[in-house]
């Protein structure tokens, strides 16, 4: 369009550019070009001062960021967008930008992503800090208080930059933990206050009643169980029978084949669970037939 520009779009672009500039006080920021933007505006890597070489900055944790002006009070995700939100494989933060005061608020998606029932909703309404009563038919979530809040003058303070890196490093560890366990219907209990290190209180497990979710839980367990059984099988006194028994119980729970992501199940004729059980049964038999080999 020539000779004009949408005011709201320009305001959003300004908020995004200022937010990225503010993050650059303590992180290396790589913007996502607008034609390639599918929901993540930038990828950022924390910059940690090298205590042995003051002029050197070391790359720390990497995370994804979405920027919004503070005038945007809610984020609405439709049913087909929720799986994308839950599937982001990096710690994911929302940065709200107050252009007038040059103040910045960083939020974690931990609270809403912990809700397994999101997968069954027609949409979800996410808001920052506003508290709603949640019930079975309520699709509204609050992100809770900002995990980090600062302005341009604070961003130029070396002590604040060091503090911001420490806070975000802790959050990245927590969110990577949540990413690992989310498919297993587990979530986390975390207490936090703005500009303070978060406190981890433990995990909560929910029942995976949905067949697809159950299949996902089983699929995530197969490879670690196979590795555990294989390791136990090579120890002289260890008994891998309990692991085999558990894997056979999983087969009873979910008889449908679970293919390996790198294999074509129709071509290879076997699924991951069957392959794992077969390998462990062969190892168990080999151990029984050759005890001297495992005494070494």
pTM across the whole model: 0.75
pLDDT number for residue 31 = 94
| Integer angstrom CA distances of residue 147 from 42, 155, 205 | 18, 15, 24
**Percent of the residues in the chain that have a pLDDT greater than 90, as a whole number:** 27
Radius of gyration, CA atoms only, the chain: 24
What torsion, rounded to 10 degrees, do the Cα atoms 60, 63, 68, 74 define? -130
Confidence of residue 7 (pLDDT cuts 50, 70, 90): confident
Straight-line distance from the first to the last Cα atom of the chain, in angstroms, rounded to the nearest whole number: 77
- Which token pair is 198? 């978060």
* Average pLDDT of the segment spanning 127-132: 48
* Average pLDDT of the segment spanning 270-290: 80
Cα separation, 4 vs 47, in Å, equals: 39
**252 C-beta neighbours (distance < 10 Å), count:** 7
pLDDT at 135 over 50: no
| Integer angstrom CA distances of residue 64 from 79, 92, 108 | 22, 5, 11
Give backbone dihedrals phi and psi of 269, rounded to 5 degrees, phi first.
Answer: 70, 15
pLDDT greater at residue 259 or residue 278: 278
| Integer angstrom CA distances of residue 135 from 113, 117, 118, 122, 178 | 16, 11, 12, 15, 23
Confidence of residue 50 (pLDDT cuts 50, 70, 90): confident
* Average pLDDT of the segment spanning 230-240: 77
pLDDT number for residue 115 = 64
| Integer angstrom CA distances of residue 110 from 3, 13, 49 | 43, 26, 28
Confidence of residue 73 (pLDDT cuts 50, 70, 90): confident
Pair type for strands 199-205 and 186-191: antiparallel
pLDDT at 30 over 90: yes
* Average pLDDT of the segment spanning 164-191: 84
- Please, are residues 108 and 156 in contact by the beta-carbon 8 Å criterion? no
Confidence of residue 28 (pLDDT cuts 50, 70, 90): very high
Q: Out of 70-74, 129-133, 199-203, pick the least confident.
A: 129-133
The partner residues of 215 in beta bridges, in order of sequence, read none
- Which token pair is 221? 């367990």
pLDDT at 159 over 80: yes
**263 C-beta neighbours (distance < 10 Å), count:** 14
DSSP state of 276: H
pLDDT at 116 over 70: no
* Average pLDDT of the segment spanning 76-105: 87
DSSP state of 45: E
Q: Out of 108-122, 175-189, 274-288, pick the least confident.
A: 108-122
- Model pLDDT for residues 15-24, shown as the tens digit of each residue: 888 999 999 9
pLDDT greater at residue 259 or residue 39: 39
pLDDT number for residue 75 = 79
What torsion, rounded to 10 degrees, do the Cα atoms 184, 257, 260, 267 define? -170
Give backbone dihedrals phi and psi of 272, rounded to 5 degrees, phi first.
Answer: -60, -45
What's the gap between Cα 123 and its chain centre?
A: 20
Provide the mean pLDDT of the chain: 80
């Amino acid at each position: 369009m020539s000779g004009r520009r949408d005011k709201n779009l320009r305001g959003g672009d300004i908020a995004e550019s200022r937010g990225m500039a503010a993050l650059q006080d303590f992180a290396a920021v790589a913007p996502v070009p607008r034609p390639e933007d599918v929901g993540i505006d930038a990828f950022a890597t924390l910059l940690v001062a090298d205590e042995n070489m003051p002029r050197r900055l070391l790359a720390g944790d990497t995370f994804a960021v979405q920027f919004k002006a503070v005038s945007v009070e809610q984020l609405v995700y439709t049913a087909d967008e929720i799986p994308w939100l839950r599937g982001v494989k990096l710690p994911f933060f929302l940065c709200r930008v107050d252009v007038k005061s040059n103040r910045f608020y960083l939020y974690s998606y931990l609270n809403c992503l912990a809700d397994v029932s999101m997968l069954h909703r027609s949409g979800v309404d996410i808001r920052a800090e506003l508290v709603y009563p949640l019930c079975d038919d309520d699709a509204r979530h609050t992100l809770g208080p900002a995990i980090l809040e600062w302005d341009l003058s604070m961003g130029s303070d070396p002590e604040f930059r060091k503090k911001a890196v420490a806070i975000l490093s802790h959050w990245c560890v927590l969110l990577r933990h949540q990413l690992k366990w989310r498919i297993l219907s587990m979530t986390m209990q975390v207490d936090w206050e703005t500009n303070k290190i978060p406190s981890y209180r433990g995990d909560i497990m929910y029942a995976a009643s949905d067949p697809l979710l159950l299949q996902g839980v089983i699929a995530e367990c197969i490879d670690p169980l196979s590795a555990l059984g294989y390791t136990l099988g090579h120890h002289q006194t260890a008994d891998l029978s309990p692991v085999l028994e558990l894997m056979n119980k999983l087969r009873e729970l979910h008889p449908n084949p679970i293919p390996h992501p790198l294999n074509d199940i129709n071509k290879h004729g076997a699924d991951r669970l069957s392959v794992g059980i077969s390998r462990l049964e062969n190892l168990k038999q080999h151990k029984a037939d050759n005890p001297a080999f495992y005494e070494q």
